[in-house]
Structure 1
């Protein structure tokens, strides 16, 4: 694939030599989308899983900055880092390269942890934060009972077995946690895209990292206005986690959406509601 196929992708280099891919689209007020491993700047803008996210949130009337996390997409496929400090330094590198100074951040799922860490550790750069399908702690960290720990262990084992074996049954079982009301064809499209974002080895590392994320202490330090959006029926990250996160961030508002999906689809009514809340929050 030649650069002409990409969406004006640029590259910058971190202090430790990792090359990160980023793109800036549109014009107007800035908005930075913090990275998670389910991205690929050469593919995601045209993929059904993400098209509506970029069309409706990173629209042309905003100067939207997106980047691929280290370990995936068009960034170097080096091992990903579980350190919030590294996430923050990587975002510093990308924002500086793109010429961004102060900006709102928006993070979905794992990327919300990066948004939380950045807002806490770089308060002078973050004007507002939007957290979607987010949580302060990964499944293994937030396990409180023996059953919780067993469930977290099974979840991680399922992820490893599914992606390492490529077994369609295991893969669909995993995809169903993110898109429970999707069709088998939609699950297969999600799986196919995911497998193109990174290597199998890094995929396992990402799963382990997500299970052990802990930005609980940092969430208490966030001082900027924060909007938290979460599906009521999310089984991947229960709405109770979103309520807990809202209790940690002083200047926050929580909106629960009527959806079972961890990653909202563009066709469901909850998506239009999410977009409206984001627009209102950024215009306030």
Structure 2
């Protein structure tokens, strides 16, 4: 990937209540979307990642995207005295402490449970809740059978032995839990991220906490518009956990996705379904192109900024692209939508999803 294609972002740090420094990244403009911390992120590397870049492009097209690295991971403090669910919650509170308006909170994987706990504690701060590939109960909280205890202990012990190492059985199994349908390039990126984002000991301590999560009781008490999405073939978190989560939260909308991946990849059909559900749920954001229009994620980034009235030079500066690239993408948008002018493109985007008659 060329450097000019990397999404632009600002990185800063906040201090949690125990002195831990948490690395935060922000991109985009408009209503705020906060992505609660999940595992295997590195805010400085994600914008160029073949696994995460399309997520960032999609989410930041709706507004101001704020995300951060888990304590002990990425650019956040590595040598941390405490790794616990309460500590993670305190970190999220520190990240959001300066946000003045209610925001959309996105929780992926264990970030879903964290988002639920935050919303329960601060209902006035969360405008909407999006939960993807999440669960209310960790592995050991779902039952104390011999099988689950052995599975939990085995995974944690294997982490201490194989985390971040090349050509290990653990490395291959762990990567396949998250992106089994990924390309070799994506698998290699995932493995390199293990080495760069956390030590084996931090990974094992983090996994121990994940196994014991249980927010099922407070999930039933939430009163906020909620969208739950889960891949049917998710190998990391069983589909049944996502469905149970949607059934527990009052009024939650549930969208099953036909994928085997815990992290959706841009090339799979489920990604377009996810984008469509996101567009419908966020409502007051700009309606974006559906899969039928054949518009790419990169073009969608440009489209949302065109609709906001930005010029090609301004769009190029914000997205870190050349003006020629932006000009070509605007031309492609006009061709794909059958429109003739930039003004028509803006009107169609604001009036309804692209590819449909307004």
Output the TM-score relative to the length of structure 1: 0.90
- Residues 150 and 16 of structure 1: CA distance in aligned 2, closer, same or farther (over 3 Å): closer
Q: Partners in 2 of 1:198 and 1:155 — Cα distance?
A: 16
Query: What's 2:200 paired with?
Result: 200
How many residues were matched structurally? 277
TM-superposed CA distance for 1:149, in Å, is: 3.2
Query: What's 2:27 paired with?
Result: 25
Query: What's 2:345 paired with?
Result: none
Name the larger-Rg structure. Answer: 2
SS of alignment partner, residue 140 of structure 1: helix
1:255 correspondence with 2:255: yes
Please, what is the CA RMSD of the aligned residues? 2.0
1:215 correspondence with 2:209: no
Q: Deviations over 1:111-168 (max 9, x none)?
A: 1111111111110101110000001111122135333333333333333332176552
TM-superposed CA distance for 1:105, in Å, is: 0.2
Q: Partners in 2 of 1:101 and 1:88 — Cα distance?
A: 19
Residue pair 2:160, 2:200 contacting (<8 A) in 1 also: no
Q: Partners in 2 of 1:274 and 1:266 — Cα distance?
A: 10
Residue pair 2:69, 2:75 contacting (<8 A) in 1 also: yes
Q: Partners in 2 of 1:156 and 1:12 — Cα distance?
A: 30
SS of alignment partner, residue 158 of structure 1: helix
TM-superposed CA distance for 1:196, in Å, is: 0.6
SS of alignment partner, residue 71 of structure 1: coil
Q: Partners in 1 of 2:259 and 2:144 — Cα distance?
A: 26
SS of alignment partner, residue 97 of structure 2: helix
TM-superposed CA distance for 1:188, in Å, is: 2.3
- Residues 153 and 15 of structure 1: CA distance in aligned 2, closer, same or farther (over 3 Å): closer
User: Superposed, which structure 2 residues align to 1:1-284 within 5 Å?
Assistant: 7-59=9-61, 61-79=62-80, 81-83=83-85, 85-97=86-98, 99-143=99-143, 145-163=145-163, 167-283=167-283
- Residues 115 and 43 of structure 1: CA distance in aligned 2, closer, same or farther (over 3 Å): same
TM-superposed CA distance for 1:185, in Å, is: 4.2
TM-superposed CA distance for 1:78, in Å, is: 3.3
Q: Partners in 2 of 1:202 and 1:224 — Cα distance?
A: 33
Q: Partners in 1 of 2:218 and 2:46 — Cα distance?
A: 30
Q: Partners in 1 of 2:198 and 2:148 — Cα distance?
A: 29
TM-superposed CA distance for 1:239, in Å, is: 0.9
TM-superposed CA distance for 1:81, in Å, is: 2.4
SS of alignment partner, residue 38 of structure 1: coil
Q: Deviations over 1:186-231 (max 9, x none)?
A: 3222111122112222111112222222222221222111100000
- Residues 164 and 9 of structure 1: CA distance in aligned 2, closer, same or farther (over 3 Å): closer
Q: Partners in 1 of 2:122 and 2:159 — Cα distance?
A: 33
* Structure 1, gaps ≥5 residues long: none
Output the TM-score relative to the length of structure 2: 0.72
* Structure 2, gaps ≥5 residues long: 1-6, 285-358
TM-superposed CA distance for 1:184, in Å, is: 4.3
SS of alignment partner, residue 260 of structure 2: coil
Residue pair 1:88, 1:117 contacting (<8 A) in 2 also: yes
Residue pair 2:74, 2:198 contacting (<8 A) in 1 also: yes
| Higher RCO structure, 1 or 2 (CA under 8 Å, sep 6+) | 1
Q: Partners in 1 of 2:75 and 2:165 — Cα distance?
A: 24
Q: Partners in 1 of 2:157 and 2:9 — Cα distance?
A: 36
